[in-house]
Amino acid sequence: MSENQRIEFGHLPVEERIKSFRDFTIPLNDDEVHAQSLRCLHCGTPFCSNNCPLHNRPVDWNRLVREGDWERAWACLSATNSFPEFTSRVCPAICEAGCTRYLLDDAAVGIRSIERAVIDRAWREGWVRPEPAAVRTGRRVAVVGSGPAGLACAQQLARAGHDVTVYEKSERPGGLLRFGIPGFKLKKDVVERRISQLEAEGVRFELSVVVGDRKFEAGVHNAAKRSVKAADLLGEYDAVVCCPDAALQYTLPPEELRRRAVTLRPGMQIAMEAVEQSLLACGYERAVQVDGSGQFSHRGGILDIFPPEAAQPARLEFWGAEIDTITFFDVETQRRTDAAEELVIAPAVEALTDDPAALAEKIRALAGSLRGKTSAKAKELLLAQAEKLASGLRLACLDKFFPLLYETPATLFDYARDGNLVFLSESAKCRERMRASQWQWGEEVKDYLEEGVLCRSLSKYQEDWPYLLSRFEPAGIYLDVFARGGYETPVRTQIAVTARQLSVWGGGTQLLCEDLTAMLHNKWACVVLA
């Protein structure tokens, strides 16, 4: 085997691949990985690292693999990459495009293959272990979405000592990793073991929960069994982390939420019938037995309520027209868990109306104004929905009529308190994310318009990038690795922080001493937090 030879992943024969959806790549063996590490030129300016969006340090881990120090190679790799087992399997390896070897002999160092070998060995040897925080901060953070970005964010926040809850609308965590990448590229047990590690570090997952209330007609897939309003997250948590398009989705205006919310306490004088009427007005559904969010049930002097923002339903026991006790209970066993001194009942849906007949009239007027080749389908559906409302029936897709219900629908920004800071991490990437999200939503809207589910005047469900900038400017902070020549909002103060991300030492003082010695020699200020 030549030192200058690039070695690619092997693959199972085609006749074997077609028998299953399992991973068909054959990783490099230790000798092949070592040979690849020898090809690294250890450039003074590592273009591979500069090309990597994560700023991984292939030069460093290549050197450690060449020396046979696999555990330190893993420590170096995991210092900049939360999930190397994912990137080493599905990353397009743009680091290799910057490899100097690529310029010399058109065959870059197999960086991705070395990365996979390092992380796979780390898992086999048991080096990848849960790292729960030694000290808790008492701060609570909500992360919306359990895709790769959400999981990485949750991991780092949990290790910093915060209590982290991840909200995921699907029935399993993982997002793109689980549902977007096929098994022959990324085995799902690879995702599962990382999820298990995060849970061991204290990360909680709330599954089948949608933040907001995006409901359409029957037939549109929605795995969510309950919803949580963005406003509730801001009230319950110290910080909320989400992608920009999630923050810009329309929701219930704050004044409407305050008007609809009902506070109940033990000893309060209130008729059970009055509570039930408030629940119906807030979008709750009557059920024989509560088994899901947004439901309530009545048995004798007992009223069970499952608020969307609660992890468990609440049981109210009445003594005449007085609330005797309020306790939470387990849905499966029906056993009481914790007593509550107060229960705040927030609306169960994002869209509410006090006058269904008036809304029905607005829908009829809208249907009468439609023109175009697809208007017939939309008219038929709108008139049928108006008839349901006028007859006293509820619509599951009432949020479709946001523009008719509220003059100015709200977003997450409308719930931010005065003085709250808004951080925009990597603003250019956020802008591209918004552009992609709006394009995708536009494509979905086209289908809904053709099917008559939507019409033009009801096709806007979120704000755009200029709106975000307008709400960001008063108390916004840009967090960019590289300062750009200009920003889209005025920058009053610019603070340059010179920093270098180092390896995770994991109790190994040798690596710590090497890094500190080099920095002290270059007259860096060093702070060690232990």
Between 225 and 315, the higher pLDDT residue: 315
**Residues 498-519: what's their mean pLDDT?**
65
Please write the tens of the pLDDT for every residue from 287-299. Answer: 998 887 788 999 9
As a whole number of angstroms, the distance between CA 26 and CA 16 comes to: 13
Burial 436-461 (b: 16+ CB within 10 A, else e): ebbeebeeebeebbeebbbbeebbeb
As a whole number of angstroms, the distance between CA 89 and CA 25 comes to: 9
pLDDT band at 217 (very low <50, low <70, confident <90, very high): very low
**What stretch(es) of the chain map to CATH 1.10.1060.10?**
10-125
Please write the tens of the pLDDT for every residue from 383-392. Answer: 988 898 888 8
- At 11 the pLDDT is 84
Please write the tens of the pLDDT for every residue from 36-54. Answer: 898 888 887 888 888 888 8
| Three-state DSSP state, 307 | coil
Q: Examine the pLDDT at 503 and tell me if it is beyond 80.
A: no
Q: Examine the pLDDT at 2 and tell me if it is beyond 80.
A: no
* Cα 78–Cα 149–Cα 242 angle in degrees, nearest 5: 140
| Three-state DSSP state, 305 | strand
- At 502 the pLDDT is 55
Q: Is 231 within 8 Å of 134 (Cβ atoms)?
A: no
What single DSSP character describes residue 325?
E
Burial 286-297 (b: 16+ CB within 10 A, else e): eeeebeebbbbb
As a whole number of angstroms, the distance between CA 148 and CA 281 comes to: 39
- At 218 the pLDDT is 38
User: Could you say which of 3.40.50.300, 3.90.550.10, 1.10.1060.10, 3.30.1180.20 is the CATH number of the domain covering 10-125?
Assistant: 1.10.1060.10
Reply yes or no on domain 262-345 having CATH 1.10.10.10. no
Q: Examine the pLDDT at 260 and tell me if it is beyond 80.
A: yes
| Residues above pLDDT 70, as percent of the chain | 92
As a whole number of angstroms, the distance between CA 500 and CA 522 comes to: 13
Q: Examine the pLDDT at 88 and tell me if it is beyond 60.
A: yes
Please write the tens of the pLDDT for every residue from 170-200. Answer: 888 998 888 888 888 888 899 999 999 999 9
Q: Examine the pLDDT at 450 and tell me if it is beyond 70.
A: yes
In this structure, which amino acid lies at residue 94?
A: I
**Residue 445 Cα to chain centre, angstroms:** 23
How many angstroms separate the Cα of 320 from the Cα of each of 272, 317, 324, 528? Answer: 9, 10, 9, 63
**What stretch(es) of the chain map to CATH 3.30.2060.10?**
262-345
As a whole number of angstroms, the distance between CA 486 and CA 489 comes to: 9
Q: Calculate the average pLDDT of the chain.
A: 84
Between 235 and 185, the higher pLDDT residue: 185
Q: Is 86 within 8 Å of 190 (Cβ atoms)?
A: yes
**Residues 332-360: what's their mean pLDDT?**
87
- Main-chain dihedrals φ then ψ at residue 481, nearest 5 degrees: -65, -40
